[in-house]
Amino acid sequence: MSRGLRFNVFRYNPEDGDSVPHSDTFFLDETQSMSLFIALTRIREDQDSSLQFDFCCRAGICGACAMMINGRPGLACHTLTKDLPNEITLLPLPTFKLIGDLSVDSGTWFRSTHEKLESWIHTDKIFNPQAEEERMDNALAEDIYELERCIECGCCTAGCGTVNMREDFMGAVALNRIARFMLDPRDERSEREYFEVVGTDEGIFGCMGLTGCEDVCPKHLPLQKQLGVLRRKMAWSAVKHWFRFR
Ligand code: SF4
Ligand code: SF4
Ligand code: FES
């Protein structure tokens, strides 16, 4: 016999002056291999067509469907209802601008963060589209790829106590991004230039190191290791700078 599921879903449309934040309750019979994405789609198709939530790939690739699932950030398309109790509470990710119900605008946050971090390869070389691709050591390419697997879902940002308390803290996803460029031999930025970007209280020195980010990352990125390496490099850079100018 299938389980009956009860969904408590956050509802609010900031664009509608008459809308007030509240929770709506929906009931569904659980089906085999039901994901939260399937459940929400059924609710929207059969019970309330005004329900807003985001999805694109349905395969854990685009990061659009991240939301708070029983108090923990996660991907709706990758979460099976069988792994949850029969009462499921869904809220939008905090720390991002609310579009409506479970839908948030994480894209604007990511774009402005990447602009602030100058999240691209810095080089003086002139790009030649006809030239052969530069070779890279396989082991190094794999290390860079490991950090490139981020799908920008925002779960680590939503799960970070520091980001929730301080809007100016850039969070693990941004620090991981810088760690990725520091590994890349094509990026010619000096350690001091990286320090200017992340060697601050808004950057690595604001991180409390409590691992909330890695615990909720659906792609299991090694965030703690990267934060540790970055913290040591930036602290060492600060010491060297201090000795040079004292
Ligand atoms: S370890 Fe740092 S970035 Fe990760 S959740 Fe904690 S404060 Fe946030
Ligand atoms: S680091 Fe993980 S949790 Fe954070 S945005 Fe990337 S994939 Fe999502
Ligand atoms: S819909 Fe793309 S990650 Fe869930």
| pTM exceeds 0.75 for this model | yes
DSSP-H helix ranges across the chain: 36-46, 106-117, 138-148, 155-158, 161-165, 171-183, 191-198, 212-216, 223-245
Q: Give yes or no for residue 245 having a pLDDT over 70.
A: no
Tokens at 59, concatenated: 């395969």
Q: Give yes or no for residue 1 having a pLDDT over 80.
A: no
Q: Is 70 left (phi over 0), alpha (psi -120 to 50) or beta?
A: left
- In percent, the amount of the chain with pLDDT more than 90 equals 89
Q: How many Cβ atoms from other residues are within 10 Å of residue 166's Cβ?
A: 14
One-letter identity of residue 176? N
Q: Is the CB of 69 under 6 A from ligand 2?
A: no
Closest residue CA from atom 8 of ligand 2 = 153
* CA angle centred on 34, ends 30 and 40, rounded to 5°: 85
Query: Which pLDDT tens digit goes with each residue over 20-33?
Result: 999 999 999 999 99
Q: Give yes or no for residue 242 having a pLDDT over 80.
A: no
* Domains and their CATH numbers in the chain: 4-104 (3.10.20.30), 118-245 (1.10.1060.10)
Q: Give yes or no for residue 181 having a pLDDT over 90.
A: yes
Q: Is the CB of 61 under 6 A from ligand 3?
A: yes
Rounded to the nearest whole angstrom, what is the distance from the C-alpha of residue 193 to the centroid of ligand 3? 35
Q: Give yes or no for residue 188 having a pLDDT over 70.
A: yes
- Taking the C-alpha atoms of residue 187 and residue 197, their distance in angstroms, rounded to an integer, is 14
Q: Is the CB of 156 under 6 A from ligand 2?
A: yes
Query: Which pLDDT tens digit goes with each residue over 119-163?
Result: 999 999 998 989 998 889 999 999 999 999 999 999 999 999 999
